[in-house]
Chain A
């Protein structure tokens, strides 16, 4: 009897260690993703038509290389790689939080039409308000002269969509599937509005605008990157600060309120920040679909739904996926560069269909 009691005691004391091991494994996986992203980053700086070697890349990054290499690495490759990672992180955490706040595993900036709303807002600023100039060369189709105005306008479009989505979810209690249908409707509406706007632009402008609405990471300059990185970093920090709130929300609204969460405030503020990320990324890079669905959904399966780990893991996974997609887009039929949005959609659409057919319990 004493022995049994001792064993019981040992089992009880073993729980935190077992639990710490379990959380340690999650931290390890997150670190692994970050490490793989860094490795892929070095490969991505290296890959391309200029035939650099990894050693040359490393030397250049350490500031020990001659002019041509410096230009290729510092002005072309590195901003592109960093922009891919930044945008991947931003879209993925935005999707992760939207899925939690709307209690909808199919939610993400692109599936709910928030990205399309932002693109419309940005197009209004660029074409109608003169915040940018449009050129015919596809590499730099749109030059944004006034990033502030473009972003604010994009944010207005994104937030308007997010508010409609929130209204449908909260007041009308729309199901997750119907919500995505509403997202399709909103997305089409904004795309149509963008096209009508283009109708008033010149032919050359239209060609570039069409190209622009497909996401492309290559157009990010260092200045754009700084703005994007700042917004994504602050938003990520904000989401991390709220991780316990998001966990509480997963237990249901009343449970969350019982745990002291101001549900309405957390939900509105979260959607606000997610829309802000979307707006900034869309105004500099165009619409890049499905990363906000792919990143968090993959990590949900690997790590479970605990936002303490899910948010950083989704961030890492989003960065990795978008960098991988962009590298693939640059190299698969090099020197032709495919729009990265096409690649992410090729990955994301099947997952989306899978989630839809499988009944998508929030797992």
Chain B
């Protein structure tokens, strides 16, 4: 167990967004957070990255209290891919090198450059190295941002809806990349998702959030028609097509 969340609460202006959220994520796991709009998914993710601080509850990373660590130490352990990013006039290599920031003291070392090269290689993006960020397509930009988070060498990688605004091919590529990263680097990957079919296909564990509370949490077995209907409020069937589980709204 690398990430454990216990009793986390959060409210915006006395309106509760998260209530007694508890779950645990293991190494090598792709953990998906699911729920309808406004269920508190993004808020939960921001708590996990200490962007916001929950007034109650504890978040432990490798048994260390997230809120007792200096910000820089958090950044060495937790990578975060936000929903929106701004594309400045920098090259892909520079953008990924920025992921080394929590490890850099004065300037990037040869090892930092080596890590960036390696990450770009793994993602098959070497030829993009010297392209400017503002010349990339949405899918390419998303991969660069994930490459940056991987260059950070985190033990927990958080992604907030990484496949929204991507076409079918890029959705699959991006999720394959993070799934492989979880396996090969033996890190925990936590993904907020909207697409239940993608979640069923790629995730190992599922957290169903409803109105800021945990509705269900576990492996494939929690993705029952009853649970999904309970969270999203419409009846669904979970079928298998070509031996792949799919969710069909009824």
Residues of A within 8 A of B (CB): 11-13, 15-16, 18-20, 22, 244, 247-248, 250-252, 254-255, 257-262, 300, 304-306, 308, 361-363
Contacts and interface: CB of A to CB of B under 8 A. Distances in A.
A251 B85 CA distance: 6
Contacts of B130: 18-19, 22
Given A251-B88, A258-B75, A259-B99, A15 B93 contact: yes
A304 B89 CA distance: 5
B247 interface: no
B80 A255 contact: yes
Given A258-B80, A258-B82, A11 B126 contact: yes
Interface stretch (B30-38, B54-62, B113-121, B225-233): B113-121
A255 B113 contact: no
Nearest to A245: B101
A361 B134 CA distance: 9
Contact of B132 (A247, A248, A259, A304): A304
Given A247-B90, A254-B51, 12 more contacts: A11-B127, A16-B117, A18-B130, A19-B91, A19-B113, A22-B93, A250-B90, A251-B95, A258-B149, A259-B102, A259-B152, A304-B132
30 contacts: A12-B121, A12-B126, A15-B117, A15-B121, A19-B93, A19-B130, A247-B94, A248-B101, A250-B90, A251-B85, A251-B86, A251-B98, A252-B86, A254-B82, A257-B71, A258-B49, A258-B79, A258-B80, A258-B149, A259-B102, A260-B72, A260-B73, A260-B101, A262-B71, A304-B89, A304-B91, A304-B94, A306-B94, A362-B86, A363-B134
B104 interface: yes
A-B pairs with lowest CB-CB distance, top 5 = A260-B75, A258-B80, A250-B88, A254-B82, A305-B89
Contacts of B171: none
A252 B84 contact: yes
Contacts of B88: 250-251, 305, 362
B187 interface: no
A54 B134 CA distance: 47
Interface residues of B, number: 46
B129 interface: yes
B223 interface: no
A324 to B, nearest CB: 25
Given A252-B82, A260-B76, A247 B98 contact: yes
A18 B130 CA distance: 8
A94 B149 CA distance: 30
B78 A18 contact: no
Nearest to B50: A257
